[in-house]
Every structure is written in C-alpha cells, then in structure tokens.
Amino acid sequence: MSEQNPYEQLGVTENSSFEEIQAAKKRLFEQYGHDSAVLETVEIAYDSIIMDRLRLRQEGKIKVPEKIRFPDRSVEKSLKVPQIVKEDSAVWLQELIDTPSQADILWPTGIFLTLSAIAVFTQNEAQNAVQNTNPSILPLLMALGFIANIYFLNRKEGRSGRAFLISFVALFAGIALGTGLANLLLGQGGTALGADQFASAVTFCLFWLVSCFLR
C-alpha cells in the first residue's frame, strides 16, 4: 500500500471530489481501525492529496472548496446564514472604509474633543475679535485640526496626497454644514454659541469621523 501514490492508497482518482476523498478516508479508518500503521499511512496519503490540491489551486488549475483548507470549520460554517458577497460593488467601499483599533479611536477623540472644547469656550474671545480688542483663536484651532486629520489619515496608509484631499473636503463640508445649522438655530434662538464656534465644533466632529473610519 505504501508503494502506491496517495490517490491509489485511498482508492480514489485525481478527479475525485473532496467528499469522495473524505468518504474514502473514513471508510479506511473504519476498516483498519485497529491497525495504527495503516491508519498512519492513510492519514499521510490524505494530507498529501490535500497539499496537492492546494498546490493546484495556487497554480490556478482547480478551485478548492474552503472546507478542504479548513475542514474543522465546515460544521461551524454550516450553522451560519450564507452571505452573498458582491465583490465588484464592494471593492471601492473596502478601500475607503477602515475598521479602527482602540488606539486609532482614542487619539483622534482626545485631540478633536480638546480642540472642540477650546473652540466652544472661546465665545468671549470671538466677541472681542468683532470689537477688535482680541483676535480670535478659531482659525488657529481649525488649522491644528486640519493638520491633525491629515496626520491620522496619512499614518494608516502613508498616502499624504489622499489624506490632504480628504481632510480638505472634510474641512469645507464641516464649515458649510456647521454654519448652515448655526444660522438655522440662531434664527430660532436655539443655541447660545456663535456661528463660528458652532461651525468649528461640527467641523471637529467631522474630522473625528473621517480620521477614525476612513483610510
């Protein structure tokens, strides 16, 4: 039996399906259950066939079911609801969306929360700026937030141009959205913050979302 090739040892052919190979292995185990030497030979033959199938799969000659590579997972996966994978439509989304680690969330949260808090509590400075008695620090805070957002995005994949473009879009989207909401709320008397403070806070929130969940 040991002089035969692995397929002959299991009593199958090279065209046999994975189910047929498994069935042959099980049959031989039941037939020679008390002969450890034969069982070891069968196990080696089975492993050789699996490795041969994987090699052919890597060469693109056959398509190997996942349960050949991970037989222990076949039972577990049978209990799960099958998922339909749309490869083509999801590629661009997978390249854009990130799954952040705890550190990837904590650092941006701390920085943008601090900048947002400073912006919110500088209402008096902003009012003095209108009276030309004290310049507002909001432009400086926005610049720091912009630079921080570029840093966090660039740290993920090292694509500074992409990070700059995304940060630039987030900056203007945050200012536009924040200013619009502030004017709406101010018109209804619903906020104690100035339009600049409100727009800055919204922009920092958008920076946080972008730096944490985009790449």
| Secondary structure (H, E, C), 117-163 | HHHHCCHHHHHHHHCCCCCCCHHHHHHHHHHHHHHHHHHHHCCHHHH
pLDDT value, residue 195: 76
Domain that holds residue 132: 91-213
Same domain? For 137 and 169 the reply is yes
pLDDT value, residue 114: 92
Give the C-alpha separation, 208 to 211, whole Å. 5
* Confidence grade of residue 47 (pLDDT, cut at 50, 70, 90): very high
The residue that leads in pLDDT, 2 or 168, is: 168
pLDDT surpassing 80 at residue 145: yes
The residue that leads in pLDDT, 153 or 215, is: 153
Same domain? For 121 and 154 the reply is yes
Tell me which DSSP letter residue 67 carries: H
Same domain? For 52 and 110 the reply is no
pLDDT value, residue 37: 87
* Confidence grade of residue 126 (pLDDT, cut at 50, 70, 90): very low
Same domain? For 141 and 186 the reply is yes
pLDDT surpassing 60 at residue 129: no
Same domain? For 64 and 23 the reply is yes
pLDDT value, residue 199: 83
* Confidence grade of residue 98 (pLDDT, cut at 50, 70, 90): confident
Identify whether 84 is part of a domain: no
The segment with the largest mean pLDDT, out of 1-10, 36-45, 180-189, is 36-45
pLDDT surpassing 50 at residue 196: yes
Identify whether 56 is part of a domain: yes
pLDDT surpassing 70 at residue 74: no
Same domain? For 96 and 155 the reply is yes
Same domain? For 74 and 96 the reply is no
Same domain? For 44 and 130 the reply is no
Q: Of 78, 100, 117, which one is at a domain's C-terminal end? A: 78
Identify whether 19 is part of a domain: yes
pLDDT value, residue 44: 92
Name the domain count of the chain.
2
pLDDT surpassing 70 at residue 28: yes
**Average pLDDT value for residue range 32-52:** 89
pLDDT value, residue 80: 53
Instruction: Give the side-chain half-sphere CA count within 13 A for 210.
Output: 29
Percent of the chain with pLDDT over 90: 8
Average pLDDT of the residues of the chain: 77
**Average pLDDT value for residue range 33-40:** 86
